[in-house]
């Protein structure tokens, strides 16, 4: 189901930006988890928020033209405000 949501999201972005979309795929948690997003090429920095199964995800990618595992991360917060941060390995 998440794959279908990602595909629909990318198609909507592609239409919204007139084909000017860059697809970013990132892995975290030592490669056990991954995420895919699309962003208009006019943007350099990505800050995205998402809620799944009671967890809040905050994605930060500093520069989509030059990924850096030290600057790119996902912060996951549960309902008790406990946080865990993973560095993102993006391509």
Q: What is the DSSP string of 1-31?
A: -HHHHHHHHHHHHHHHTTT-EEEEEEEETTT
Q: Identify which has the larger pLDDT, 16 or 34.
A: 34
Rounded Cα distance between 22 and 62, Å, is 15
Using one digit for the tens of pLDDT, what is the confidence trace for 36-88? 877 665 568 888 898 999 999 999 999 888 999 899 999 999 999 999 999 99
Q: Which of 23, 17, 55, 47 is nearest to 36 (CA)?
A: 23
pLDDT score of 40: 64
pLDDT score of 15: 41
Contacts of 72 (CB under 8 A, 6+ apart): 26, 60, 61, 62, 87, 88, 89, 90
pLDDT score of 68: 92
- The structure's pTM equals 0.70
């Amino acid at each position: 189901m998440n794959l279908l949501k990602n595909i629909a999201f990318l198609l909507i972005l592609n239409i919204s930006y007139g084909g000017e979309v860059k697809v970013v795929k990132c892995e975290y948690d030592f490669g056990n988890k991954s995420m895919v997003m699309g962003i208009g090429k006019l943007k350099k920095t990505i800050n995205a928020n998402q809620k799944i199964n009671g967890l809040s995800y905050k994605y930060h990618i500093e520069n989509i033209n030059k990924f850096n595992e030290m600057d790119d991360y996902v912060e996951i917060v549960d309902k008790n405000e406990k946080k865990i941060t993973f560095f993102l390995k993006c391509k």
